[in-house]
């Protein structure tokens, strides 16, 4: 796993680099990814506009800022995504804001279709769902992972699939409306919970190491 992660890190780009990549491809009438179609290009164009708006308007709560100021050891947030992904367009600007406001977090982005060996280590119910965030420590060990969408949105998707079998265009539109109304609050809540979880695990590991040193 670690070799695959480190291979992907070599080609990872910054958030601004990712935004530029998507824009430059759109100028050529293309989207990111191995598959090209008019629909994917249109999704990418719509997402580019969404991200431009969110980059200007998204607000990070004081609680979120305070929690992530507690990060004392360097972390890399490695995100698998593609420009056509609607969930990523709603989440990436928030991750970027949190990382930008936190000295010890470095946000890096890789394209899913160019990193399938990495993607296949972090499947969601057997699928290559994106975005997928992988939280790494300074030695590129996996601390935790998140994605492809906030907990509430995940339940919405699960419930709709159970009732209707597929996610139709109307649901996808309704999901984007939910994202707009939520204003990133659910993503931030998920990340506060995620940070709390691996912080507790870190403390447990420290206690275990201390006990082992004491007794042996």
Sketch the domain layout of the chain as residue ranges: 2-215
Which regions of 25-184 does DSSP assign to beta strands (E)? 75-81, 105-111, 132-136, 142-146
* Spatial contact of 157 and 149, defined as CB atoms under 8 Å apart: yes
Average pLDDT over residues 133-156: 95
Q: Which of 33, 43, 35 is nearest to 115 (CA)?
A: 33
| pLDDT for residue 199 | 55
What Cα–Cα distance (Å) separates residue 110 from each residue in 7, 87, 105, 140, 186? Answer: 11, 16, 16, 15, 24
In the chain, helix, strand, coil percent, each to 5? 60, 10, 25
- CA geometry: angle at 136 spanning 134 and 137, to 5°? 165
Query: Tens digit of pLDDT for each residue in 21-38?
Result: 999 999 999 999 999 999
Query: Tens digit of pLDDT for each residue in 157-206?
Result: 999 999 999 999 999 999 999 999 999 999 999 999 988 776 545 444 44
Query: Tens digit of pLDDT for each residue in 57-71?
Result: 999 999 999 999 888
Query: Tens digit of pLDDT for each residue in 69-128?
Result: 888 899 999 999 999 999 999 999 999 999 999 999 999 999 999 999 999 999 999 999
Cα separation, 71 vs 143, in Å, equals: 13
Q: Which two tokens stand for residue 111?
A: 């394209």
Cα separation, 43 vs 38, in Å, equals: 9
Average pLDDT over residues 9-20: 98
pTM, full prediction? 0.90
Q: Which two tokens stand for residue 102?
A: 């936190």
Right CATH for 2-215 from 3.40.50.2300, 3.40.50.2020, 3.30.420.40, 3.40.30.10: 3.40.30.10
């Amino acid at each position: 796993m670690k070799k695959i992660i480190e291979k992907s890190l070599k080609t990872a780009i910054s958030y601004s680099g990712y935004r530029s990549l998507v824009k430059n491809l759109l100028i050529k009438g293309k989207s990111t990814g191995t598959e090209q179609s008019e629909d994917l290009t249109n999704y990418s164009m719509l997402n580019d506009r969404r991200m431009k708006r969110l980059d200007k308007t998204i607000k990070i709560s004081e609680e979120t800022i305070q929690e992530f100021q507690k990060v004392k050891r360097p972390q890399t947030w490695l995100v698998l995504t593609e420009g056509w992904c609607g969930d990523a367009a709603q989440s990436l600007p928030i991750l970027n804001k949190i990382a930008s406001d936190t000295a010890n977090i470095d946000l890096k982005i890789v394209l899913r279709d160019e990193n399938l060996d990495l993607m296949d280590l972090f499947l969601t119910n057997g699928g290559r769902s994106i975005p997928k965030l992988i939280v790494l420590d300074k030695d590129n060990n996996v601390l935790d992972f998140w994605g492809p969408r906030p907990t509430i949105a995940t339940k919405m998707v699960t419930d709709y699939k159970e009732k209707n079998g597929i996610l139709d265009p109307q649901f996808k539109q309704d999901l984007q409306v939910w994202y707009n109304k939520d204003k990133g609050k659910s993503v931030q809540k998920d990340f506060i919970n995620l940070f709390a979880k691996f912080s507790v695990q870190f403390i447990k590991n420290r206690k275990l190491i201390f006990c082992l040193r004491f007794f042996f």
